[in-house]
Structure 1
Amino acid sequence: KHPNVITNMILERYASPNGPTKGKIIRPSDGKAPESVAFVQCAGSRDENHLPYCSYICCMASLKHATYIREQYPDAKIYIFYIDLRTPGLRYEKFYNKIKADDKVFFIKGKVAEVSEDPATKNITVVAENAVTGEKIRQTVEMAVLATGMQPTAAISKPPAELNYNPYGFIINDFNKGGMFAAGCANKPADVVSSNQNATGMALKAIQTLVRR
């Protein structure tokens, strides 16, 4: 709807050397360097009207994207609007504390109620209520990034196999039946590390199933 409101996946493509902007993070409307960026966490997630679950990776992805922007544009200001920040594990918590120490990164605890555009400047205004102070916040930025959740393909179109699914489209493994095991993001929202660990476990489970036969 608004050119300067993008998703976390689009920002990841911008930051990639093989992406459409060759790794340069720009404002889509005019190709300029953004001087201020807002991240809206849980955009459509933890919401009974869309995805009621946490997608696990979004908070860490936004913190990573904030570092991308700060590295390219040292004077850029970052505003992160969140319900709860979830950084599981000591390594992720250390990374979060590093970002929090940056004096140009601002964390606002509050659910975003509105995102609008100025037709003249194409700047974006994010409206939220600070959950700590109760204050209504209106923050105008040059670009906004929506941290959208993770949804399995099977939620829309299930593969031609006899598998069990939970209400959200993730596969439920049937270890008694065997034959086919889901791992990683086919099983639940997960990052790369936990997906690899889960895949290793499922491979071992498959070996055990074959040995028993």
Structure 2
Amino acid sequence: CGKCVEACKYDAIDLKMETKTINFKVGAIVWATGWTPYDANKIDNLGFGKYPNIITNMILERYASPNGPTKGRIIRPSDGKAIESIAFVQCAGSRDENHLPYCSYICCMASLKHATYIREQYPDAKIYIFYIDLRAPGLRYEKFYNKIKADDKVFFIKGKVAEVSEDSGTKNITVVAENAVTGEKIRQTVEMVVLATGMQPSAAISRPNSELNYNPDGFIINDFNKGGMFAAGCANKPADVVSSNQNATGMALKAIQTLVRR
């Protein structure tokens, strides 16, 4: 509509601008190419794309956002109703040799955060968290985990989800898992399921046209002896925002050192 051009007082928008390639000669490059959520459609046994009330953690984040599709309200996708029960499936695609063999680092804490979203909107909702190993790295994260654990309507089940199914009438989802502690087979029916999908390095999906070394999982390996090109944050390993910022600062300093020593 062109209204952005009228609104920009700096005359910084050109709607007729065409794509062009610009070449720069530089002394160092910091690759901070970030990450991409693993495609949940590839995880056949967890029902994403097949059952409407199974979503990913990124979709839930959009629901909870004030400028998201539901204006911040977390509701069932199939009918827009309030939620009385919900299950979080951890390691959806992570720590799985058929998908991502590594821990994606952020998923456990993200689901604990999402549990607080649910609790704020639905004080009486039952929340089930199915996990392989719950990881809360750092003192503050551990305290946050203990806070969630104190909620008597949040249930932690140590067990990898094997399958899910849908009731065609209610659209409720039944989650099947084996409790790794008791050996009991669990069939838990909930109104909605959230898959905590893993973290995939963007550079592994679309590899930059450069002389970079990658580990088997697609993360860029830093070669400090060679110098000149450095990977930061999730381009180098799974990381949260805090550790990504710290790592990026270190890589920026490494780049400066490379230039100074030449």
Q: TM-score range by the shorter chain?
A: over 0.9
How big is the shift at 1:101? Answer: 0.1
Partner of 1:36: 85
Aligned CA-pair RMSD:
0.8
Bigger CA radius of gyration:
2
Deviations 1:165-212 (A, max 9, x none): 111111111212222211001111100000000001101111111111
Partner of 1:185: 234
Distance in structure 2 (CA, Å) of the matches to 1:94 and 1:23: 26
How big is the shift at 1:156? Answer: 2.1
Over 3 Å off, 4+ runs: none
SS in 2 for 1:151: strand
Partner of 1:114: 163
Q: Please state if 1:133 is matched with 2:182.
A: yes
| Fraction of identical pairs, as percent | 93
Q: Can you give the 5+ residue segments of structure 2 that lack an aligned partner in the other structure?
A: 1-49
Residues matched between the structures, number: 213
Distance in structure 2 (CA, Å) of the matches to 1:139 and 1:85: 19
Deviations 1:97-148 (A, max 9, x none): 0000001100011111111111111100001111111111110000000111
Deviations 1:60-101 (A, max 9, x none): 000000000000110111000011000011100000000000
Distance in structure 2 (CA, Å) of the matches to 1:180 and 1:20: 40
Report 1 or 2 for greater relative contact order, CA contacts < 8 Å, sequence distance ≥ 6: 2
Partner of 2:56: 7
Residue from 221, 225, 229 that aligns with 1:172: 221
Q: Can you give the 5+ residue segments of structure 1 that lack an aligned partner in the other structure?
A: none
Q: Could you state the TM-score of these two structures normalised by the residue count of structure 1?
A: 0.98
Distance in structure 1 (CA, Å) of the matches to 2:211 and 2:72: 42
Deviations 1:25-50 (A, max 9, x none): 11100111111000001111111111
Distance in structure 1 (CA, Å) of the matches to 2:159 and 2:225: 44
